[in-house]
């Protein structure tokens, strides 16, 4: 039986089925933990709520929108300025957040007129913004405000504005994942097909499940544009509200984070016949394969190959420099949902690290299937981990580095395990060929920090060296390295602090112009 029972969770026996260790010769039929079940109260789980899954994860990265939460101010405040989903319109959606400020009297007498006045005030404060998303919260769901009716009323009065309503209160589901689903379906039901786009290419995609963390979307969009592909919309990072209303006109849905956004892809396939292609922007091999698949779908493989060749030549040596120095380092891969399988294989294959544990806060069994399949024998897989289990796992596994959220990162810090932010990244973006080197760089900088080395010394007991005034990362990382690796003339990553600035400076003239097919060719 591969189930792993934590000592700290013996008193809550139902937890036993939420963790497994992948044994020798075992497959998924024998080692799949339970997933996406209601949380055990008081277990100090790391899960968030369905409101944050809808608003914070998927809704807010949409850039040209007033994001207003109908409820008390806390939901809005708490989910504001806690992520790094940037945008190329001066980060409007990152800077501004709106709450209807529901008070006790509204709970008693209803908050619909309050909502309406709020909507008008918000549009008046930002006259250049004509799009809005309204998020329901626990309080306004329970008092039963009809948000859709108010939105319709305002749209009738002000024909130049458009409003999207997302009814996903915090309690709607075991975790934030419930909110992902709700906002996916709400968007396709309410908004897709309400605007006709201008088609400028023979190859048109929606880029779905991509949130532009530190510029990921802009990196990937650059590759697509270099292939002559029109990115009709991005759901939702750096995405535009009106572009997303036209999703129905794409030829292909290119899906990145399946955990949070496969629902809309599946609906787009069912309703509009648009095929879904799952891709992966992390890792040279996976990213290269992804670009190839897209190229293959459109019959433009050579364009993909050209990019892969160029980028690999530029960045692979630097990745390999890090891989030589990260080989065998133990990693706990503890993200929220899909990164456990996006990263598990790629970091082992391309950076040489060893994943000793994967976990998911809000993933489903399907995510665990993919994660465990890609992880090696002995990997500890945990669904909906809690505080004490995290401690126990860190103490048992003794990883060299952990990829997780900001607060769990503080737990790891105290245990002398350096952390990288798996949700918002340290110094990303991490997607793209260059981004993958940046990720390797961040891991290296964490693992070989001289401060980390110092923190293990007990000056009251240990016999420690006094012959050095400093130690460099290289002195630590290269100490036991084979001579051939040590002799490398490289020194690691050579890109800029902010690689996105250069991408934003590009104009159409910087991209290759491909001949459009004639309409008869296209029809064939």
Partner 1 sequence: MNCEVKVKDRIGTINPIFTCQPAGAQYVSIGVKDCIGLVHGGQGCVMFVRLLISQHLKENFEIASSSLHEDGAVFGACGRVEEGVDVLLSRYPHLKVIPIISTCSTEVIGDDIDGVITKLEEGLLAEKYPDREVHLLPIHTPSFVGSMVTGYDVAVRDFVKKFARKGPSNGKINFITGWVNPGDVTELKSLLKEMDIDATVLFEIESFDSPIMPNGDEASHGNTTIEDLVSTGSATHTFVLNRYEGGKAGQFLEKKFKIPAIVGPTPIGIRNTDTLLKKLSEATGKPIPESLVRKRGVALDAITDLAHMFLADKKVAIYGNADLVIGLAEFCLDLEMKPQLLLLGDDNSGYVDDPRVKALQEHVDYPMEIVTNADFWDLEDRIKNKGLELDLILGHSKGRFVSIDYDIPMVRVGFPTYDRAGLYRYPVVGYGGATWLAEQMANALFTDMEHKKRKEWLLNVW
Q: How far is the CB of 5 from partner 1 (least distance, A)?
A: 14
Which of the ranges 112-120, 204-212, 248-256, 516-524 carries the binding residues for partner 1, by CB under 8 A? 112-120
Of 65, 83, 239, nearest to 135 by C-alpha is 65
Quick one: which of 21, 28, 40, 306 contacts partner 1 (CB under 8 A)?
40
Is the CB of 462 or the CB of 524 nearer to partner 1?
462
217 binds partner 1 (CB under 8 A): no
Q: What is the DSSP string of 285-316?
A: HHHHHHHHHHHHHHT-HHHHHHHHHHHHHHHH
9 binds partner 1 (CB under 8 A): yes
Identify the DSSP state of 334: -
Measured between alpha carbons, how far is 505 from 405 in angstroms, rounded to an integer? 32
Is the CB of 413 or the CB of 473 nearer to partner 1?
413
Quick one: which of 4, 31, 65, 79 contacts partner 1 (CB under 8 A)?
79
306 binds partner 1 (CB under 8 A): no
Is the CB of 271 or the CB of 406 nearer to partner 1?
406
Q: How far is the CB of 352 from partner 1 (least distance, A)?
A: 25
Q: How far is the CB of 109 from partner 1 (least distance, A)?
A: 12
Which token pair is 165?
């309503």
Measured between alpha carbons, how far is 218 from 236 in angstroms, rounded to an integer? 12
81 binds partner 1 (CB under 8 A): yes
379 binds partner 1 (CB under 8 A): no
Measured between alpha carbons, how far is 263 from 244 in angstroms, rounded to an integer? 15
Quick one: which of 32, 65, 114, 446 contacts partner 1 (CB under 8 A)?
114
Q: Which of residues 170-209 bind partner 1 (CB under 8 A)?
A: 170-176
122 binds partner 1 (CB under 8 A): yes
100 binds partner 1 (CB under 8 A): yes
Distance between first and last Cα of the chain: 55
Compute how many residues bind partner 1; rule: CB under 8 A. 81
Of 247, 246, 240, 71, nearest to 170 by C-alpha is 71
Cβ contact 356:22 at 8 Å: no
Measured between alpha carbons, how far is 376 from 373 in angstroms, rounded to an integer? 8
Q: How far is the CB of 270 from partner 1 (least distance, A)?
A: 26
Q: E strand or H helix at 108, and its extent?
A: helix 104-109
Q: Residue 106 burial by CB count (10 A; 0-12/13-18/19+): exposed, middle or buried?
A: buried
Q: E strand or H helix at 123, and its extent?
A: helix 112-125
The HSE-up count of residue 245 (CA atoms within 13 Å, CB side) is 13
Which of the ranges 163-171, 220-228, 249-257, 260-268 carries the binding residues for partner 1, by CB under 8 A? 163-171
Is the CB of 137 or the CB of 201 nearer to partner 1?
137
Q: How far is the CB of 362 from partner 1 (least distance, A)?
A: 10
Cβ contact 241:131 at 8 Å: yes
Is the CB of 82 or the CB of 189 nearer to partner 1?
82
Which token pair is 152?
């319709």
Quick one: which of 19, 31, 49, 500 contacts partner 1 (CB under 8 A)?
49
67 binds partner 1 (CB under 8 A): no
Which token pair is 255?
């899906």
For residue 360, list its beta bridge partners: 383
Is the CB of 361 or the CB of 374 nearer to partner 1?
361
| Rg (alpha carbons) of the chain, rounded to whole number | 24
Angstrom CA distances, 75 to 65, 91, 125, stand at 18, 20, 21
Measured between alpha carbons, how far is 187 from 165 in angstroms, rounded to an integer? 8
Cβ contact 215:503 at 8 Å: yes
Q: How far is CA 497 from the centre of its chain?
A: 21
Q: How far is the CB of 177 from partner 1 (least distance, A)?
A: 12
380 binds partner 1 (CB under 8 A): no
One character per residue 403-432, x = contact with partner 1 (rule: CB under 8 A): --xxxx-xx-xxxx----------------
Which of the ranges 95-103, 251-259, 320-328, 441-449 carries the binding residues for partner 1, by CB under 8 A? 95-103
Quick one: which of 4, 62, 80, 241 contacts partner 1 (CB under 8 A)?
80
375 binds partner 1 (CB under 8 A): no
Which token pair is 137?
């919260």
5 binds partner 1 (CB under 8 A): no
| Cis peptide leading into residue 429 (ω within 30°) | yes
143 binds partner 1 (CB under 8 A): yes
Is the CB of 27 or the CB of 121 nearer to partner 1?
121
Q: Which of residues 431-470 bind partner 1 (CB under 8 A)?
A: 455-458, 462
Of 209, 210, 120, nearest to 163 by C-alpha is 120
Is the CB of 171 or the CB of 511 nearer to partner 1?
171
Is the CB of 114 or the CB of 252 nearer to partner 1?
114
Is the CB of 93 or the CB of 348 nearer to partner 1?
93
Is the CB of 174 or the CB of 499 nearer to partner 1?
174
Q: How far is the CB of 447 from partner 1 (least distance, A)?
A: 16
Identify the DSSP state of 99: E
Quick one: which of 18, 45, 228, 429 contacts partner 1 (CB under 8 A)?
45
């Amino acid at each position: 039986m591969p189930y792993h029972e934590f000592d700290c969770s013996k008193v809550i026996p139902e937890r036993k089925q939420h963790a497994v260790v992948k044994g020798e010769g075992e497959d998924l039929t024998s080692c799949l933990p339970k997933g996406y079940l209601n949380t055990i109260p008081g277990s100090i789980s790391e899960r968030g709520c369905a409101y944050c899954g809808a608003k914070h994860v998927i809704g807010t990265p949409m850039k040209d929108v007033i994001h207003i939460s109908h409820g008390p101010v806390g939901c809005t405040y708490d989910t504001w300025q806690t992520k790094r989903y940037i945008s190329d319109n001066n980060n409007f959606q990152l800077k501004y957040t709106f709450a209807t400020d529901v008070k006790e009297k509204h709970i008693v007498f209803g908050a619909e007129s309050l909502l309406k006045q709020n909507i008008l005030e918000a549009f008046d404060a930002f006259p250049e913004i004509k799009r809005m998303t309204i998020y329901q919260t626990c309080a306004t769901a329970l008092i039963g405000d009809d948000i859709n009716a108010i939105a319709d009323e305002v749209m009738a009065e002000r024909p130049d504005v458009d409003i999207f309503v997302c009814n996903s209160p915090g309690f709607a589901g075991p975790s934030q994942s419930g909110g992902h689903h709700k906002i996916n379906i709400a968007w396709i039901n309410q908004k897709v097909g309400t605007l006709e786009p201008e088609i400028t290419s023979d190859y048109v995609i929606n880029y779905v499940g991509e949130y532009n963390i530190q510029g990921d979307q802009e990196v990937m969009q650059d590759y697509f544009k270099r292939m002559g592909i029109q990115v009709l919309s991005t759901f939702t990072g750096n995405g535009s509200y009106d572009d997303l209303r036209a999703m129905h006109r794409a030829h292909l849905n290119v899906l990145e984070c399946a955990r949070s956004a496969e629902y809309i892809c599946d609906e787009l396939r069912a309703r509009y016949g648009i095929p879904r292609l799952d891709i992966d922007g992390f890792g040279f091999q996976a990213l290269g394969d992804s670009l190839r698949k897209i190229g293959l779908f459109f019959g433009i493989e050579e364009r993909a190959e050209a990019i892969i060749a160029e980028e690999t030549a530029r960045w692979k040596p630097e990745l390999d420099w890090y891989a030589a120095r990260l080989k065998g380092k133990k990693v706990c891969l503890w993200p929220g949902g899909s990164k456990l399988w996006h990263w598990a294989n790629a970091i082992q294959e391309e950076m040489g690290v060893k994943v000793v544990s994967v976990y998911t806060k809000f993933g489903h069994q399907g995510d665990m299937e993919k994660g465990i399949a890609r992880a090696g024998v002995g990997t500890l897989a945990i669904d909906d981990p809690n505080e004490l289990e995290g401690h126990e796992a860190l103490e048992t596994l003794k990883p060299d580095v952990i990829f997780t959220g900001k607060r769990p990162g503080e737990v790891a810090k105290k245990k002398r395990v350096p952390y990288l932010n798996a949700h918002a990244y340290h110094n990303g973006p991490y997607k793209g060929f260059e981004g993958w080197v940046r990720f390797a760089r961040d891991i290296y900088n964490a693992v070989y920090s001289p401060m980390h080395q110092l923190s293990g010394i007990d000056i009251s007991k240990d016999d420690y060296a006094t012959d050095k005034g400093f130690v460099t990362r290289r002195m630590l990382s290269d100490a036991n390295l084979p001579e051939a690796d040590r002799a490398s003339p490289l020194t690691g990553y050579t890109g800029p602090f902010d690689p996105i600035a250069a991408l934003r400076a590009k104009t159409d003239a910087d991209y290759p112009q491909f001949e459009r097919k004639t309409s008869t060719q296209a029809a064939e």
